[in-house]
Structure 1
Amino acid sequence: MIEENAKMAGDNMLGRLYENVTGTVPESMVLLPGAGSGRRYYRLRGSETMIGVVGTDAAENKAFIRLSRHFRDKGLPVPEVKGVSDDGMNYIQDDLGSTSLFAFIASGRTQGVWSDDVRAVLKRTIRVLPAIQWRGAEGLDFDAVCFPVGAMDRRALMWDLNYFKYCFLKPSGLEHSEPLLERDFMELCDRVLEHDTPTFMYRDFQSRNVMLGADGSPWFIDFQGGRRGPYHYDVVSFLWQAQARYPDELREELIDEYIKAAQPYVSINGDVFRKELKLFVLLRTLQVLGAYGLRGLVQRKAHFLQSIPAAMDNLRRLLDDAPEGMDYLMETLRRLTRLPRWNADKGAGTDMTVRVNSFGYRKSGIPEDTTPNGGGFVFDCRALSNPGRYPQYLALTGRDQAVIDFLESDGEVGRYLDHAYALVDMAVERYIERGFSQLMVSFGCTGGQHRSVYAAEHMARHINDKYGVRVVLCHREQGISTIYNARR
């Protein structure tokens, strides 16, 4: 109850801030899809449209607000903060629209189609990065403004590396030597810090944190974790974002664009720079896996669990051309990529098809299995909290973000799916070994609209991501089918 009252107080404060800025009350305030943090974002509409933020940490909010104002003074494209509550927990800012760069590049991420328009926007985006790094650092008191630390020093690097060790490596169940791993972590820190520069390091410079204006111009958000640090790091954060899946030739083009855009600030030798980037690809990949481990393996958030296979693919490619030295760390990472649970290529090239269904028990009952061998799984989702009991969700399905947020809010659905994954994974692995061609997995709830749809969507992606086999997803009550092709 205390937590709910705090949420209501924050929501009411946004309305008051909006009224203070515009002189009118907002006509509507809509909660936007959540991200990795606990912050809540709202779109407030009325005489103006603004974004309201209810934070979880006043110091983190303060860092964003001060950085935003500093960057705007430097002419950088970031949102303007319009109003802040007295306690610093709530603020309102410019509405930059609903199109993120991540959404804009969907055809490339999902289909491998990187059109000229998409390439042009990516180049336009990375050309702004040097200005953020160098101009953004001018006159900035890093220690006074940045959160939680002013610079990427040894202590901050070890936080990230231990984040990987405790939230990803250990939960993966891989045996390792603590002293040898610590030794190589220290070597990695030393080598990264050799490239330290007095520039602003955005730290999470990636396509989800870039919003596109109507003319395709990029605007930048979520830089509150920034600090002083090497400019290499942001290049890697952007170009090696796991779920962006940039092809190597496009990544090379974008590195060239960055080098040209950085010329007013620094002279970069392309060959040397590319060699140096390998260290930062390793560092960033470990940091990302640590974050995915915390949010996915520990907190059971499905979005982060689904992101792990792409990050592991990045790690495999890195290990094919790894930085020199740190032999124990590299061997540990190679063993990690060979674990069955992270072996994204397992099953690729087989002729197996997994059919995943959602259905309503009140409709036509359990789907009939028409495959030759029969069998499979039927999971009952009716023990999960039911969005269908609330009017605002009646016209939505488990594919809609509002329903996804509802189901994920208490962590219950993550634990449910974790058990389902374990059972289905065992069957898929045995079926592949034995040459079986068909498996059916069905999820049912009362109406086949919310809980079963959510679970079926996540199971289909999980199987395709982890095993590379063909998956046919069918939402029977909606008449929707999707095919996830086998990865050859």
Structure 2
Amino acid sequence: MASPKTEWALAELFESWAGVPPDLILPLAPSGSDRIYYRLQKNDKVAIGTYSPHAKESLAFLNFSKHFHERKLPVPAIYAENLDAKVYLQEDLGSTTLYSFLLQNQHHFPDSLVQLYKKVVEKLAHLQINGSKELQYTYCFPKESFDRESMFWDFNYFKYHFLLPSQVGFDEVALEKDFHQLADFLLQADNEYFMFRDFQSRNILIRNGNPYFIDYQGGRKGALQYDLASLLYQAKANIPNDIRESLIQHYLDTASQLTNIDRDSFLSYFYGYVLMRNIQVLGAYGYRGIYERKAHFLLSIPYGLKNIQWLLEEGKIPIALPEITRCLQAIIKSQKYDPYDKSKGENSLLKVFVNSFSYHKRQIPVESSGNGGGFVFDCRFLHNPGRYEPYKKLSGKDESVINFLKHFSDMEPFLNNVYRIVDAAVENYLERSFTHLEINFGCTGGQHRSVYAADQLTAHLKDKYGIDITLNHLEQSNWSKEN
């Protein structure tokens, strides 16, 4: 969590750049790292302020950004920096990501989205090839290239954070042999280009129909195939296979205009890099989901396994990797990570009622079925945005309040614990054909913390179980009137 000193440092940096102090400093949605982002604004002067505790990572991002921007590549401009205070300002490219377009089209992939992806792969080729020229790779963090050691970091992450907790037995010697085989094979590909490392839809912003890239501070020298594999086989993107194939060819059309590329050679390594990326992703999902118990990552594991299953069934893995293959097939066959069958919830008689309420204005809501029971979660121990003037007239539905709760409170681990408790009850109730479950979230005013928690649980239960849910914010008519 950043301190008030961080916001003061960003305000001073903004004033030195804009010539006026900001009258708006609001935290933005957290990333997957410990960097914290703010939007700072005064009239028409707007910037994204970043707090980053890692000096080497910041130096990598700042130097890469300046280099790419000078070459007119689609990245944010850097406005100002104060690395002693661990802050810098960059261009505000908006908040619409490519991932948001995927969410809007979850059950189909329209031509408009295909055209957008074509723009993305074109710009990617330019970034990787033209952006690599004269780039100072000495700033790379933690390594200058995606070499054997880097690959084994990912292999070990996969082994210890996904295979082991998945309780699939493996032959350690045979598995290590496969890791060496795969690394040997992949390192034969041309690896003299800029590799973004985490090139996926959340790191691609769309402004005026054009893509811009962010969060490339982990970039290094590597093969072209890795980033394209990361984009087209992103776990939750669910891109149809025929569209993937056409996008690979479109990428190669552009890349071939920028450097000499042997298409057959490129494709011979491509699916090996798809496997490599999915191994890395499953390791990350295992750590975040299984060890840290973050529900979002657990729910993402089936999508990663779906990509692996396709590779196996289509015979796309380019070399023999018997132990890796056996382990992955065993996990898929076990159905350990298969999503809950939503048809059970959609066709059940279970009705769930989720309420937010104020401890100051009422007693705990009475359970409406007459059977008693249910859950009451007290949110008052969480840091309260309602104590601060900018948030007093807002609610837990407002973006700035949501970002405050994500950044400056323990809301995320609290909700992960709530999910585990409530999920167990819901699955039990569905099996026993129960018809009623009531869940209450209370906070001081029933306006910020309890509202956000109730909204999040409702979305979680709908997405996972498809059950009938009624959401009530019992203090909504009084929001802002008493603050």
Please indicate the TM-score interval, normalised by the length of the shorter structure.
0.7 to 0.9
Residue matched to 1:90: 87
SS of the residue 2:53 aligns to: coil
1:25 pairs with one of 21, 28, 40: 21
Residue matched to 1:176: 170
CA deviation profile, 1:72-103 (whole Å, cap 9, x unmatched): 22221211212221537221121112222222
CA deviation profile, 1:303-357 (whole Å, cap 9, x unmatched): 4444444334334434433525222212222333355651115455773356362
Change (3 A) 1:334 1:473: farther
Q: Does 1:114 align with 2:133?
A: no
Instruction: Give the superposition deviation at 1:125.
Output: 1.4
Instruction: Give the superposition deviation at 1:460.
Output: 4.7
Q: Does 1:100 align with 2:97?
A: yes
Give 2:112's aligned amino acid. D
Residue matched to 2:50: 53
SS of the residue 2:468 aligns to: strand
Counterpart-to-counterpart distance in 2, 1:220 and 1:359? 39
Residue matched to 2:212: 219
Residue matched to 1:151: 145
Residue matched to 1:294: 287
Give 1:190's aligned amino acid. D
1:65 pairs with one of 58, 62, 67: 62
Deviates further, 315-324 or 62-71: 315-324
2:306 pairs with one of 309, 313, 328: 313
Counterpart-to-counterpart distance in 2, 1:381 and 1:317? 44
Q: Is contact 2:289-2:295 (8 Å) kept?
A: yes
Q: Is contact 2:27-2:38 (8 Å) kept?
A: yes
Extract structure 1 runs of 4+ deviating beyond 6 A.
Answer: none
Give 1:61's aligned amino acid. S
Q: Does 1:258 align with 2:251?
A: yes
Deviates further, 55-64 or 68-77: 68-77
Counterpart-to-counterpart distance in 1, 2:174 and 2:193? 32
Counterpart-to-counterpart distance in 2, 1:409 and 1:190? 42
Give 1:128's aligned amino acid. K
Q: Is contact 1:443-1:453 (8 Å) kept?
A: no
Q: Is contact 2:22-2:40 (8 Å) kept?
A: yes
Deviates further, 68-77 or 449-458: 449-458
CA deviation profile, 1:232-272 (whole Å, cap 9, x unmatched): 111111111223222223323322221211121233437x6
Change (3 A) 1:233 1:169: same
Counting matched residue pairs gives 466
Mark the runs of 5 or more structure 1 residues left unpaired by the alignment: 481-488
Change (3 A) 1:199 1:346: same
SS of the residue 1:114 aligns to: coil
Counterpart-to-counterpart distance in 2, 1:21 and 1:67? 21
Q: Does 1:327 align with 2:352?
A: no
Give 1:443's aligned amino acid. N
Change (3 A) 1:82 1:412: closer
Residue matched to 2:479: none
Q: Is contact 1:151-1:228 (8 Å) kept?
A: yes
Instruction: Give the superposition deviation at 1:182.
Output: 2.2
Q: Is contact 1:300-1:414 (8 Å) kept?
A: no
Change (3 A) 1:405 1:170: farther
Change (3 A) 1:457 1:334: farther
Counterpart-to-counterpart distance in 1, 2:221 and 2:213? 18
Q: Is contact 1:13-1:90 (8 Å) kept?
A: yes
Change (3 A) 1:56 1:253: same
TM-score by length of 1: 0.83
Counterpart-to-counterpart distance in 1, 2:181 and 2:263? 24
Give 2:285's aligned amino acid. Y
Q: Is contact 1:50-1:95 (8 Å) kept?
A: yes
Counterpart-to-counterpart distance in 1, 2:164 and 2:391? 39
Counterpart-to-counterpart distance in 1, 2:184 and 2:83? 42
Counterpart-to-counterpart distance in 1, 2:474 and 2:189? 54
Instruction: Give the superposition deviation at 1:410.
Output: 7.2
SS of the residue 1:33 aligns to: coil
Q: Is contact 2:229-2:274 (8 Å) kept?
A: yes
Mark the runs of 5 or more structure 2 residues left unpaired by the alignment: 477-483
Instruction: Give the superposition deviation at 1:183.
Output: 2.3
SS of the residue 2:39 aligns to: strand
Residue matched to 2:480: none
Residue matched to 1:208: 202
Instruction: Give the superposition deviation at 1:401.
Output: 4.3
Counterpart-to-counterpart distance in 1, 2:168 and 2:417? 21
Q: Is contact 1:367-1:442 (8 Å) kept?
A: no
TM-score by length of 2: 0.84
Give 2:321's aligned amino acid. M
Give 1:36's aligned amino acid. G
Instruction: Give the superposition deviation at 1:476.
Output: 0.9
SS of the residue 2:470 aligns to: strand
Instruction: Give the superposition deviation at 1:176.
Output: 3.5
Q: Is contact 1:292-1:308 (8 Å) kept?
A: yes
Change (3 A) 1:320 1:347: farther
Give 2:20's aligned amino acid. T
Identity, % of aligned positions:
34
Q: Is contact 1:358-1:456 (8 Å) kept?
A: yes
Instruction: Give the superposition deviation at 1:395.
Output: 4.2
Change (3 A) 1:96 1:407: closer
Instruction: Give the superposition deviation at 1:217.
Output: 1.5
Q: Is contact 1:165-1:290 (8 Å) kept?
A: yes
1:139 pairs with one of 130, 134, 137: 134
Instruction: Give the superposition deviation at 1:141.
Output: 3.4
Deviates further, 191-200 or 245-254: 245-254
Q: Is contact 1:79-1:96 (8 Å) kept?
A: yes
CA RMSD of aligned residues (A): 3.3
Counterpart-to-counterpart distance in 1, 2:65 and 2:91? 11
1:235 pairs with one of 194, 214, 228: 228
Counterpart-to-counterpart distance in 2, 1:348 and 1:276? 40
Give 1:225's aligned amino acid. G
Q: Is contact 1:78-1:221 (8 Å) kept?
A: yes
1:359 pairs with one of 352, 356, 361: 356
1:81 pairs with one of 78, 81, 89: 78
Change (3 A) 1:182 1:403: farther
Counterpart-to-counterpart distance in 2, 1:398 and 1:338? 41
